[in-house]
Copies of this chain bind each other. A is one copy, B any other.
Amino acid sequence: MDAPAPDRLLHARAVLLDLDGVLYVEDEPIEGALEAVAALRDRGLRLRFVTNTTSRPRRDILARLERLGIPVPERELVTPARLAVEHCLAAARLRALLLMRDEVKADLAGLQEVRERADVVVVGDLGEDFGYRVLNQAFRELLAGAELVALQKNRYWRTPDGLSLDVGPFVAALEYATGRDAVVVGKPASAFFATVLAGLEVGPADAVMVGDDVESDVGGALRAGLAGVLVRTGKYRPEAVAASGVEPTATVDSIADVPTLLGA
């Protein structure tokens, strides 16, 4: 059903770029990232910067991009927080136990933060503060009837000292404890990609996702009908690709190779 990979990529009208591990790692830009983003813009491609980053609020992500020399308009940045709020509002679940850093809670405005008798437990990133007490508190709210919503379910990410646990393992812990599946609103959820495409006003066949996470970025994009390009930076590990069973539309060394791949 797909056109051969190169053709499909050459005709793309929109590009979704993952951030962490694709454009930068911590405060270091990936070599060639600035030039690549500029080349894609020059080519007239519509861009969205789509991240599962849940450790920082949107304003910090935008500030970092600016600092790295990749200024991004607010409307081009897509994070799972807004989708989580939309989901909870649609389900009339407003009383929320929020497992995330305080500064990120601003991105969930619209929900009422509570510590007891929650309608929903929203799991974001607590980093090194993930621990028994907070997970047990969430577990008890879930047993009492709260819904489990995860901003994302990534397994791990690359930090300066090596690969580190992401949010996913803690979501998996709560799923296992309760025997129930979380509603995941970030990548690789198809609803995530559908929302982004709606904002871009293009269909999935005209869009390409570029990421370093073979499951969350590439696998999710392919399932949603987009092309999926894997970069060999960030958390990329050949073993993870083999284990995933996902076959990227293309795999390149880094974001620096993406403009050529897309004919830009």
Contact = CB atoms under 8 A, between A and B. Distances in A.
Contacts of A164: 136, 139
Q: What is the count of identical protomers in the complex?
A: 2
Contacts of A178: 155
Given A128-B133, A168-B177, 20 more contacts: A126-B132, A128-B131, A128-B132, A130-B135, A131-B131, A131-B132, A132-B165, A136-B165, A140-B163, A143-B163, A155-B178, A155-B179, A156-B177, A165-B173, A165-B177, A168-B176, A169-B177, A172-B172, A172-B176, A172-B177
A88 to B, nearest CB: 24
Interface string A212-229: 000000000000000000
A129 B132 contact: yes
Nearest to A240: B179
Interface in A118-144: 126-133, 135-136, 139-140, 143
A174 interface: yes
Interface residues of A, number: 33
Contacts of A127: 132
Interface in A220-264: 240, 243
Given A129-B132, A131-B131, A179-B243, A169 B173 contact: yes
A162 interface: yes
Contact of A169 (B126, B128, B168, B176): B176
A192 interface: no
A133 B169 CA distance: 13
A128 B136 CA distance: 9
Contact of A172 (B130, B133, B156, B175): B175
A243 B163 CA distance: 36
A24 interface: no
Nearest to A172: B176
Enumerate the 10 nearest inter-chain pairs by beta-carbon distance, A residue then B residue, closest first: A172-B176, A131-B131, A169-B173, A173-B173, A169-B177, A128-B132, A130-B132, A136-B165, A169-B176, A155-B177
Contacts of A143: 163
A153 to B, nearest CB: 8
A177 B157 CA distance: 10
A170 interface: yes
